[in-house]
Structure 1
Amino acid sequence: MTEATEVGGRVKSGRLVCSQSHSFPIVEFIPRFVDAGHYASNFSSQWDAWPELLSLYDGYGERFTKETRWGSDLSGAVMLEAGCGAGTFTPFAAATGATVVSFDLSQGVEANYRRSGHLDNVLIVQADIFSIPVKKTIFDYVFCFGVLQHTPDPKAAFLSLATCLKAEGKIAVDVYTMPPAGHPYEILWKNKYRARKLVRSLSDETILKLVKGYVNLMWPLVKRLAAKPTDRRRKINRFFLFDDYKARLPGMLESRYQSFAKLDIYDFLGPAYDIPATQAELQGWFKEAGLSQIDVHPGYNGLEGRGVR
């Protein structure tokens, strides 16, 4: 490390230099291994617009526990969190006692640092899932939630993560999948992809502005339909890309539903990539990675999968 400046016992700025003389900056306490202008720029806009919204909701702790199934005490282990965003899952990973290396391609790492950067067992870096700046086969646990479908090649992204596992290491991921015919979310997903085609040529800033205006315009109707929920009323809301937030987000304050709707719909429309997978495809990725004890099934985010090196 060169040019290091410390604040409060932590390196705020400096440069990391490897044995081959490659140099990477540390900016605002975060090592940066990527340049600006990447495919995840919309997520930077997303976390800038709603930096703390998901940190105010504890339901993701339950999701972390149920998706990983790793237990609550992982003291002494080393864990990799891929695609941390603003840090929705980071504090729950850190609470296990493991040393957590948490990375994301977007500027969401800055919101994550504000939330979890003070923790002694958390290291937050900005990096690319296709070029993870760590030694291979050193992690006891790897997880990646809400990310794979938003990469240009979900399978390659998964295989990149799998190389980070040590022998007997465990991995847990999820990925979007298309709901089958007749599923309650079928109409929402179909209309999401139709809407994505309409905004494909627009900038992140324009999409964000449109989403905020659209939600504000529609919200009185959405609230009215949600006040007395029935299957028909939910279907109408989902036709317009809104969800039953009370059922989906138990424990979240109703006053935050409108902000969540904006984040949710922007998350539908903003990403450069949205590539769902089938259950057979996800199982195939695990097999190609040479993993065992493979468990792939419908879950929180569409499909979830677990395996062991």
Structure 2
Amino acid sequence: MVSIINPFTQKLLVQSGDTLKDEDGNVFKITNGVSRFVEEHNYTDNFGFQWNKFQKTQIDRERKNATFSKERFFAATNWDKEDLSGKDILEAGSGAGRFTQIVLDHTKGNLYSIDYSDAVSANYRNNSHHGDRLKLFQASIYDMPFPDNSFDKVFCFGVLQHTPDFKKSVQCLVNKAKPGAEIVVDFYPIKGWYTKISAKYMLRPFTKKMTHEKLLGKIERNTNRLIKTYRFFDKLKLGIIAHRFIPMCDINRTIPANLSKEELREWVVLDTFDMFSPAYDNPQRIKTVKKWMEESGSEVRFSGFVKYSNNLRMAIVRGIKKT
């Protein structure tokens, strides 16, 4: 079992009713089943907004025979043949809990999951039925409420590019792993000089300043038209235009196949909002993240692209913390 500490003083915390207290009298609230270590509003408010609104969209359990998140998780970690019974696992940046669900449903590990946003409330609603195997915290990746050298496994998916300091975030993840433990991260990759020549990066300086409600409204009003335009260019074998210059997510590269028309629309709205709303979006070269993992005290065992589900792919670095 991992100790829970005051991330700012390193003092042990003990639960007292709906609070956590340390010996100095510092108190942290437990609200909606989640221990809270951050201010109510912060730069990740967009994620709290989107995941509480789209709470079930990416959860495999909510769609019959859905395996998209499961395939992505086990392809990224390569843990599908490991016995994780009794292992303490850290998830940094859980969102609504799509990968929380996979860990808890498909392994016997104990999961400690954090998110800086109020997405943890959606995660709690989705996964709290697992009881004591899930421990949820609203906390910063830079101030996690756990001692260093605590976890047998650490993973962080879809998060690092949205943090203020990508390199520091990697270091913080490695710090929490036990010597000999594995750390797995994915992230938006820089593939070349052309990566940021796209509607996404041209429009983000404006869209990230919009209210969440206004941005979501604009996306919802235009989604049907944008999907039709995307399909038009795709049929003409001009996918590069659809991918780069239509202001919506790339259907062929980010969304599961075989969705109904209604499900596809919901995923497009969600992923497009996810593109345009974050305060930070800092893709990195794979070799750079590999270097940072090594500088943080890990031996990198893999760095590169991993394929999953209908030849989609993601940038992955896996490391083992040095002893």
TM-score range, shorter chain: 0.7 to 0.9
Which residue pairs with 2:192 in the alignment? 180
How is 1:129-278 mapped onto 2 (pairs within 5 angstroms)?
A: 129-180=141-192, 190-222=198-230, 229-232=235-238, 234-238=239-243, 239-240=245-246, 241-245=248-252, 248-278=255-285
Q: Distance in 1 between matches of 2:102 and 2:199?
A: 33
* Amino acid in the other structure paired with 2:100: T
Deviates more, 1:83-92 or 1:207-216: 207-216
What TM-score do the two structures reach when normalised by structure 2? Answer: 0.84
The Cα of 1:265 is off from its aligned counterpart by 0.9
Runs of 4+ off more than 6 Å: none
* 1:83 aligns to 2:90 (yes or no): no
| Unaligned stretches of 5+ residues in structure 1 | 5-13
Q: Distance in 2 between matches of 1:151 and 1:248?
A: 23
What TM-score do the two structures reach when normalised by structure 1? Answer: 0.87
* Amino acid in the other structure paired with 1:17: K
Give me the identity figure in percent: 29
The Cα of 1:245 is off from its aligned counterpart by 4.2
Counterparts in 2 of 1:110 and 1:208: CA distance versus 1, 3 Å: same
Q: What's the Cα RMSD here?
A: 2.2
Counterparts in 2 of 1:247 and 1:303: CA distance versus 1, 3 Å: closer
Of 44, 48, 69, the match for 2:78: 69
* Amino acid in the other structure paired with 1:66: A
Q: Are the equivalent residues in 1 in contact too, given 2:91–2:156 (CA < 8 A)?
A: yes
Task: Note the alpha carbon deviations across 1:53-86, whole angstroms, 9 max, x for none.
Answer: 1013531101110111123421021000000000
> What is the SS of the residue equivalent to 1:89?
helix
* Amino acid in the other structure paired with 1:77: K
The Cα of 1:2 is off from its aligned counterpart by 5.9
Which residue pairs with 1:40 in the alignment? 44
Q: Distance in 2 between matches of 1:245 and 1:48?
A: 25
Counting matched residue pairs gives 293
The Cα of 1:289 is off from its aligned counterpart by 1.1
Q: Are the equivalent residues in 1 in contact too, given 2:51–2:119 (CA < 8 A)?
A: yes
Of 111, 127, 133, the match for 2:122: 111
Which residue pairs with 2:4 in the alignment? none
* 1:280 aligns to 2:269 (yes or no): no
* 1:100 aligns to 2:114 (yes or no): no
Q: Are the equivalent residues in 2 in contact too, given 1:246–1:254 (CA < 8 A)?
A: no
Task: Note the alpha carbon deviations across 1:142-190, whole angstroms, 9 max, x for none.
Answer: 00000000011111111111100111100100111223368xxx58x62
Of 30, 33, 38, the match for 1:29: 33
Deviates more, 1:212-221 or 1:144-153: 212-221
> What is the SS of the residue equivalent to 1:67?
helix
Q: Are the equivalent residues in 1 in contact too, given 2:251–2:268 (CA < 8 A)?
A: no
Q: Distance in 2 between matches of 1:59 and 1:109?
A: 21
Q: Distance in 1 between matches of 2:254 and 2:90?
A: 31
Q: Distance in 2 between matches of 1:71 and 1:2?
A: 34
